[in-house]
Amino acid sequence: MTDWIKSLFNQSKPVIAMAHVPALPGTPKYDEAGGIGLLIDTVKPDVEKLLAGGVDSIMFCNEDDRPYLLKAGIEQVAAMTRVVTECIPDGIPFGVDFLWDPCAALAIAHATGASFTREVFTGLYESDMGVWSPSPGETMRFRRNIGATDVRVFYNVVPEFASSMGTRSIAQRAESAIVSSLADAILVSGPMAGQEPPIQILQEVKQLLPDFPVFLNTGARVDNVAEFLQVADGVIVGSSLKEDGYTWNKVDPDRVRAFMQRVNQARKS
């Protein structure tokens, strides 16, 4: 069931690099003076640097819409769609994430021609945003109703800024998300953006789901990516490719090159 990964990304164990969009209209950190033009002018150079560094895919995300909501505003959806459309990478697949509204992510992905989306689709959590209870049934019906069934859905089963309410293990929740909620891929995260999970958790998930795509979602760095790629079917990386490794800084071309060099070495081993 991992064959589609190589077909989509033209690479086994792909690297999906984050293009973090600054705060969107209507959110506390939005720069009214700079407007939508500033968002595009910030994201486009980051995308170009990531492409030049050889990543396999780009994923756009409204990372700086802090504090986050569980339902997007129409003004954010409209602005995000404009930014993604203006910054689509040439020659590689791209995805869309919207923190933390899976229907918004799917709508933007479908409108912009994205190949995949990442979100928290399942579970019940206590979180910085309050009690969090996404409805995969509603979301997957929405996906069907808008004609977006070709958009792959990457299920993050370990949300950042949150903890699961329940006794099931992460591996059990991952298996359940596949069976009950039609996930295309499983993502395993650390507790916050830029922080990795214990590799043992990825090993437990992959052991239970040996033939299903399982990605590292946060915390990939040049010093640990080779170890994680021994287990994971790919990685999503953002913070460690930025200047000083800080999530909201610009992409650092030297960090991208060093990271991809290490990845390519790991792929050959």
The CA-based angle 239-212-117, given to 5 degrees, is 45
Note down pLDDT in tens along the chain; length 269 residues.
789 999 999 999 999 999 999 999 999 999 999 999 999 999 999 999 999 999 999 999 999 999 999 999 999 999 999 999 999 999 999 999 999 999 999 999 999 999 999 999 999 999 999 999 999 999 999 999 999 999 999 999 999 999 999 999 999 999 999 999 999 999 999 998 889 999 999 999 999 999 999 999 999 999 999 999 999 999 999 999 999 999 999 999 999 999 999 999 999 98
Query: In the prediction, which pLDDT does 17 show?
Result: 98
Number of continuous H segments (helices) and E segments (strands) in the chain: 9, 11
Query: In the prediction, which pLDDT does 197 show?
Result: 97
Query: In the prediction, which pLDDT does 193 show?
Result: 87
- Is the whole model's pTM more than 0.85, yes or no? yes
Query: In the prediction, which pLDDT does 269 show?
Result: 83
CA distance 88 to 81: 11
Q: Where are the domains of the chain?
A: 3-268
Query: In the prediction, which pLDDT does 251 show?
Result: 98
SS3 content of the chain, % helix, strand, coil (to 5): 40, 15, 45
Whether domain 3-268 has CATH 1.20.1560.10: the reply is no
Query: In the prediction, which pLDDT does 258 show?
Result: 98
Query: In the prediction, which pLDDT does 114 show?
Result: 98
CA distance 15 to 22: 22
Query: In the prediction, which pLDDT does 94 show?
Result: 99
**Beta strand residue intervals within 48-151, DSSP E:** 57-61, 94-97, 116-119, 125-127, 130-132
Edge-first strand listing for the sheet containing 125-127:
130-132, 125-127, 162-164
Do 229 and 235 meet the contact criterion of CB atoms below 8 Å apart?
yes
**Which neighbouring-strand residues pair with 185?**
154
**How many Cα atoms occupy the beta-carbon half-sphere of 77 within 13 Å?**
17
Q: What is the pLDDT of residues 104-113, one digit of tens each?
A: 999 999 999 9
